[in-house]
Amino acid sequence: MAEETTPRIAIVTGASRGIGAGIAVALAKQGRHVVLMARNVDKLNEVAAAITASGGKASVAACDVADHTALAAAIEAVADQHKRLDILVNNAGITRDNLMLRMSDDEWDSVLNTNLRAVFVACRAAVRPMMRGKWGRIVNIGSTSGLMGNAGQANYAAAKAGVVGLTKTIAREMASKGITANVVAPGFIDTDMTGVLPQQIKDLAIEHTPAKRMGRADEIAAAVAYFTSEEAGFTTGQVVAVDGGMTMY
């Protein structure tokens, strides 16, 4: 199906680096106007400049997704400014790893607040303009930790598992409105976040990945690009693990 003359408006959270930046670039290549959200304005501007330099459309909306009132307001402001909102990609997230017996309430709460509650708040805000437009694509970034658990990540795994249940529920509620909701669950991906890990941890992760390598941000972005495409209107409530085969056992 041909792309509309007026570009679809896409919000990507956590778009200042890594997977989020890769997703933003991929959506811009599809002809979307991508609104980049994160806390670091300078980094957002760098990504936006790279997109526009290559002929894409991008703008910046600085926001801390952990501030749920500000997050909802930022999404509503984008929809008001552009008179539409078509795509939401919830990518922003944090980790506060610790063994369950040592995990503090604050470590639990901060991760659930950012990685699950913020996703709910963003989706709730986004579906209203999507319903008005009778078209929408929601992609929530999960994790293999949310599918199979991971030692030291009780908070992160619980949040990402919650994202799966939330997304499937949104898919059921919104399918008749022309809005889809899907999850892309990355495995061990080469980003700034994983780059600081000890080599021993990286080697262990690669050992448990049948592809015997780390994934790339553009490989996650490719899955997101499909789910947000014009052609993906009959695909909803799905979870795709982009993990080199890690979760196939």
* Active site amino acids: 156
> By C-alpha distance, which of 80, 14, 72, 23 is closest to 43?
14
- What is the DSSP code (8-state) at residue 93? -
Q: Beta strand pairing status for 9-13 and 87-90?
A: parallel
Other Cβ atoms within 10 Å of 125 Cβ, number: 21
Cβ pair 164, 144 in contact under 8 A:
no
Cβ pair 28, 11 in contact under 8 A:
no
Residues 6+ away with beta carbon under 8 Å from 121: 68, 71, 72
